[in-house]
Structure 1
Amino acid sequence: MNKPAALLTSLLLLPACQTTRTVTLVGMTDYHSHAVPFYSEGEPGQGGVARALAYLREAKARPDTLGVSGGDTLNKGVPTWSDEYGCVEWPWFNGVLDVMALGNHDLDYGAEAFERCRASASYPVLCANLVGADGAAYLRVEGKPYVVREVGGVRVGFFAVAGPDMQRLVKAENLPAGTRWTDATEAARAVVEALRTREHVDAVVLLGHQLREDDEALAREVSGIDVIMGSHSHQKTELGVLPGTRTWYLAPYQYLAYLSEVRLRFRGGRLEGVEGGLVKMDGTKREDPETAAEVGRLQRALVAKRPERFEVLGHLDRPLRDEGLTTGQAEVGTWAAEVWRRAAGAHAFFALSASFRGGLPAGAVTVEDFLGAIPYRNLLVTAELTGAQLADWVALSESKRGTDSYSQRSGVRYELEDGRPVRLRVLKDPSHPEAGDEPVKPEATYRVATLDFQAFVAGGYKEALSLAGNVRRTELDAHTLLMDALRKGVTDSGIGQPHAK
């Protein structure tokens, strides 16, 4: 037999199990009712549900493609669209999404509203550790707390859990009657075991809904999760393997500014490669024309009905950008922290990066623009910290760099050596920042301020503040202070305060 014939024969004799298949996952998360394109990362006109739907529909037209969502489709109070139209978009994704994770904001309007939303969708909503009185998962598909989708002969298992942060954020009265949370790690372990041993899936995918650090911890504790589609933290993270695990992770930021696209490559039913990344939903991506027309109609009606939300607060000569919120000093965070610091009469002010969900555009800034960037209502909290306690607080913030728990700040500056803050300095006189700063003295007492969520809810910070003296929740409203600053034209992100290096 000649060589070409021998090669052909050997190929024909290869077992069918050696066939290579690729399954593509296209994912969205943390939409938060941002139907209309918005200002993001220093650029107007980003995202929008019409663009995302067009991309998802085109992707679903290709073979072996699944659409998934990490949840948080609603957001009570901000934007106004959510309060007026609720989950009007859920059925728009019928035939596009194959499965969705429950997000904390999906329960913002209570259990009855959530059930109406769920009834409008043909795709299942999952959460393995929200259980009923019988101890079984409340959200089930054919009695199971997961779904298996088979495409091209490959079986992919999907599940979701509510992380510790999500469980804290959902109000008890908004939960379905008789339900309760169980431990996310234990629930995940049971689901992965079932998917691997009973369902014999070829890959396991976690959709959400928990913080990035909880995703990492879960991946280390529970083996067998191939991919985590990051959610909840609003992080923009390209595809990579989580440290100390074999689990791939990516996260597409927020509000449909990006979608995730992951390609799982199988040979003989075994996952042998993962690739992909984030897809930016900017002006280069086409909109679905019917969806765009419907969004435009609904938005015009909304502006007419709620004109106070579209009132102009002030004008910016240049944008206050949100770049660097979780890794350094973002312009919008520095500006807000300084306005709050001055109002509190504090040496230093700290605000979780999670307090900010975007920047502010140049030109006219409306109430809706403002609330889209800084959506959460808080009161200012003041406390007295020793210099040593202030140093510990700064070190805590730096330990959370890269996450939503990192702090934007004003009144302090320092340098980093091996990831640790050194040469910490603080304002000499809170009332006169132009006087400059001085080294922090461990035994001295400093007036430090923050937002009440960070003071009394955020993990690590609330424990640190419990050691402080004279902790007081003031009547100073964070939104009111910033809105007044915009009206008065106080919009310089520096405002004379020292910048951290």
Structure 2
Amino acid sequence: MKKRKMYSATALAATTAVLVGVTGVSAEQTLFTDVPANHPYGEPITALAALGVVNGFGDGTFKPDAAVTRGQAAKMIAGAFQLNNPAVENLQFTDVAKTSPYYSAILALVSLGVITGYEDQTFRPAENLTHGHIKVIIERVSAAYPVDAAALFTLANVAFDEKKNITRGELASILTEALKLVEENSKYFNLSVMHVNDTHGRVDVFPKLMTAVKEQRAKTPDALLLHAGDAFSGTLYFNEFEGKADLPFLNAMNFDAMVFGNHEFDLGSSPEGHKALADFVKAAKFPFISANTDFSKDSLFTGLFTDLISSEPENGKIYSGMIKEINGEKVGIFGLTTSETKDISSPGSVVFEDYIEEANKAVKAFEDKGVNKIIALTHIGYDDNVAYDNDQMLAKSVPGIDIIVGGHTHTELKEPVVVNTNTVGEKKDATLIVQAYQYSDYLGTLNVAFDENGVVVNHKGQLIKVGELAEDPEGVKLLAPYKAKVDATEKAEIGVTLTQELANPRSSETSPVSVRNSETALGNIITDGMLAKAKKSTDKKVVMALQNGGGIRAAINEGPITTGEVITVLPFGNTLALADVTGAELKATFEHAVKDAPKESGGFLHISGAKFEYDSTKNAGSRVVSLKYFDEATNSYVDIQDNQTYTIATNAFTAKGGDGFADLKAAYAAGRVTDLGLSDWENLKEQFISLKEIPYELQGRIVDVAATK
């Protein structure tokens, strides 16, 4: 790809010179008869006109109060930012001829993805633009520099009104302020980062992710592309190919580095151990980094792993960290993997060391090499259990880290979080934390300006919604053979046959029974599988399992069960989580679950290992009559006690407070939730296979005593 500089340094310098009066155009002079010296936008109009960025009309006027058209705006913006060298040769708009005075400007802006046309292949250059339109355009055109488009309106003395047409004078003032900021930022080193995390085998999304990456690279060709871990586990693509379906895409997108997530170690207890992970590393056309992960005792990684920071990292190798040179500046990147991996995955002989200690070592190693711009690529979680590790504590505890690109908690940080105090509340240089949710739903973007000391002085970050983009044609071709295999597997029978339907009822005129207000056989089977898997996955005493009714999405028809049917029942890719809660919190959780009963609620809870009675005639918040769990020691159901702490199993969505479960949300915030990372549909499939006979009948686990009165 041919690199192009979006902004001309010469133009920026000239613009600044004009604005301070060096060009000889004084504030008292007027170039246009309708723009007097005291006009609120007189100075920026005069400055841009002297540069040739804006022009007046044949009658000597500028018409500063006239609305800006799409064509005029394109010419002003392209001229101000010196945008040229377009990536496409011709415009396809039926209403913009090559002879149009706006043709080259529109071509440049379309090439950069700054503006688009309409579905009928028109551009409509004579249409007016609003304040809202210009805000979006400035955000896109300034992608190479951290420019706050909203702040520009204030600086330009323009009262922002999203739907109001923008005038020629207002746009001139906004462009002038934008150029001032760009010129100021040009004194700094500007770094761009793209990032994803917790992609979890969503290979079918990668063609759209490829489009997102290509569009961003068109704007910032030198941007880093980082993966914050957990490519493994979660879909049939992983079950079938164990990471081999991901690699063609990750390699094609030219990732710069990846850190190991806990799920990368899920196959450690298999007969082949971590062979799939070692093969994944070897075939990658990028290096892996993790400063606190020791592979030395696993022979599968011999020759792949070195506990060093490399200035010349090799593809398919593992390092503590690496140094990348970008536009003449050195950037240090090191990795961290959660120590929780030993409890929620199968790392075997792979050891995870203290993340704070190893982070301090990595920062010192970079600084000893003269590197003062440092990125931590982490899979420890934004707000995960502090007893293990998390990004906020890392930012407060380790000086010298400028950016933390994170994963593990699937957190949607719509803009960077700034941490500028240490663990005792003292001021420190800013550390930016970013995370892009999950499953390649978003491509995270971050643009940062550093001063000569490597201190963050400005930044801008956002999440690009991948699902709204078109699929990259190359990606579609890469996906085809893997998709064919997965489609066939979805249709494959799991070896279990139903003699009657496992219903997923909803309320109707003929029946009030719903998966969202009543016990169901399917809900019982799901939660039985959750409880069984949870008990196998922890040494804790797990007393019950909970599944929100809103998460059960389909019935399973009579006849052979297919893998695809199982996935359709639980399609959201949820994982199994454990939560430590008090009896009082657990009762409050069940109060919330039945607050709308007998009306339907997505938060209605199906249960295993417990019995629950409530009275729907009572006021919400006072409906729980009885809540008991089955105590294996006494072979009987025992009342939940308010002041005791219990471990329960549920899906990660519910464990984090989804469906309004405030007490579970508080437990998650307090670090009392552990995501085991086990796929819900896979657990259900295993449960079906384990059953000697299907329990079609209800078991009285959930009873509304109002119905028995």
Band the TM-score falls in, shorter-chain normalisation: 0.5 to 0.7
Query: What's 1:152 paired with?
Result: 327
* Residue in structure 1 matched with residue 433 of structure 2 by the alignment: 249
Change (3 A) 1:260 1:19: same
| Counterpart for residue 289 of structure 1 | 473
**2:583 is the alignment partner of 1:390:** yes
User: Matched residues in 2 for 1:169 and 1:342: separation?
Assistant: 21
TM-aligned CA deviation for residue 157 of structure 1 = 1.4
Judged with a 3 Å threshold, the aligned counterparts in structure 2 of structure 1 residues 86 and 414 are, in CA distance, closer, same or farther, namely closer
The 5 Å alignment of 1:4-403 reads 4=22, 19-36=187-204, 48-61=205-218, 62-75=220-233, 78-88=234-244, 89-94=246-251, 96-109=254-267, 110-133=273-296, 138=307, 141=310, 145-173=320-348, 175=349, 179-195=350-366, 197-213=367-383, 214-239=390-415, 240-242=417-419, 244=421, 246-268=430-452, 270-282=455-467, 284-308=468-492, 339=523, 366-373=565-572, 376=575, 389-391=582-584
Aligned residue for 2:477, secondary structure, equals helix
Structure 1 pair 172–294 and aligned structure 2 pair: CA distance change class (3 A) = closer
Contact 2:190-2:450 at 8 Å conserved across structures: yes
Contact map agreement 1:60 1:96 (CA 8 A) in 2: no
Q: Give CA deviations for 1:340-395 in whole Å, capped at 9, x if unaligned.
A: 69978xxx967599xx9x956689983224455355569x99x9x9xxx4126689
Say what the alpha-carbon RMSD is for the aligned residues: 5.2
Q: Call closer, same or farther: CA 1:235–1:315 in 2, change over 3 Å.
A: farther
User: Residues of 1 paired with 2:585 and 2:490: CA distance?
Assistant: 45
Q: For 2:291, what is the secondary structure of its paired residue?
A: strand
Which residue does the alignment assign to 1:41?
none
1:394 and 1:22, CA in 2 relative to 1: closer, same or farther beyond 3 A? farther
* Sequence identity percentage: 20
Following the alignment from structure 1 to structure 2, what is the Cα–Cα distance between the partners of residues 21 and 207?
20
1:165 deviates by 2.0
Name the amino acid aligned to 1:273: N
CA offset at residue 204 of structure 1? Answer: 1.6
Say which structure is richer in strand.
1
| C-alpha contact (below 8 Å) 1:79/1:371 kept by paired residues | no
- What secondary structure sits across from 1:83 in the alignment? helix
Aligned with 1:373: secondary structure? coil
Q: CA deviation at 1:160?
A: 1.1
Correspondences of 1:411-490 after superposition (within 5 Å): 411-412=591-592, 430-431=612-613, 433-434=615-616, 436=618, 437-438=622-623, 445-446=639-640, 450-451=648-649
C-alpha distance after superposition, 1:130-165 (max 9, x if no partner): 12559x955864685111212123322111111232
Q: Map Cα deviations across residues 280-333 of structure 1 (whole Å, 9 max, x no partner).
A: 112x31211121233244222222245237999978799xxxxxxxxxxxx999
CA distance in 1, matches of 2:518, 2:466: 27
Look up the SS of the partner of 2:254 in the other structure.
coil
- Cα gap change, 1:82 to 1:413, in 2 (>3 Å): closer
Q: Secondary structure at the match of 1:4?
A: coil
The 1:79/1:488 distance shift into structure 2, 3 A limit, reads farther
The amino acid that maps onto 2:572 is: A
Q: What is the one-letter code of the residue matched to 1:151?
A: I
Distance in 1, Cα, partners of 2:617 & 2:525: 15
Residue 584 of structure 2 aligns with an amino acid whose one-letter code is A
Q: CA deviation at 1:199?
A: 2.8
| Closer, same or farther: CA 297–479 of 1 in aligned 2, 3 Å | closer
In the alignment, the residues of structure 2 paired with residue 334 and residue 236 of structure 1 have an alpha-carbon distance, to the nearest angstrom, of: 33
Which position in structure 2 is the counterpart of 1:410?
590
Q: TM-score, normalised by structure 1?
A: 0.64
1:56–1:96 CA contact under 8 A, matched in 2 = no
What is the alpha-carbon distance in structure 1 between the residues aligned to residue 217 and residue 421 of structure 2? 33
Instruction: Please state whether the residue corresponding to 2:378 is helix, strand or coil.
Output: coil
Secondary structure at 1:24 match in 2: strand
Say which one has the larger Rg.
2
Cα deviation 1:94-133 (Å, max 9, x = unaligned)? 2520011111112223322111111111111111111255
Q: CA deviation at 1:6?
A: 11
Rounded to whole Å, the distance in 1 between the matches of 2:393 and 2:436 is 20
Against the structure 1 CA distance between its residues 243 and 92, is the aligned structure 2 distance closer, same or farther, given a 3 Å change threshold? same
Following the alignment from structure 2 to structure 1, what is the Cα–Cα distance between the partners of residues 591 and 392?
33
The residue type paired with residue 68 of structure 1 is L
CA contact (8 A) 1:309 1:368 kept: no
> In structure 2, how many angstroms separate the alpha carbons of the residues matched to 1:237 and 1:297?
34
- What is the letter of the counterpart of residue 182 of structure 1? E
8 Å CA contact 1:31, 1:256 repeated in 2: yes
Q: Distance in 1 between matches of 2:240 and 2:307?
A: 28
Give the 3 Å change call, closer, same or farther, for CA 460–298 of structure 1 in structure 2.
closer
The Cα of 1:19 is off from its aligned counterpart by 2.6
SS in 2 for 1:22: strand
Residue by residue over 1:182-222, the C-alpha shift from the partner in whole angstroms, topping out at 9 and shown as x without a partner, is 11111111111222x22333422122111222111111111
Alignment deviations for residues 239-287 of structure 1 (CA, whole Å, 9 cap, x no partner): 22248453222221111011110001234454311211111112x3121
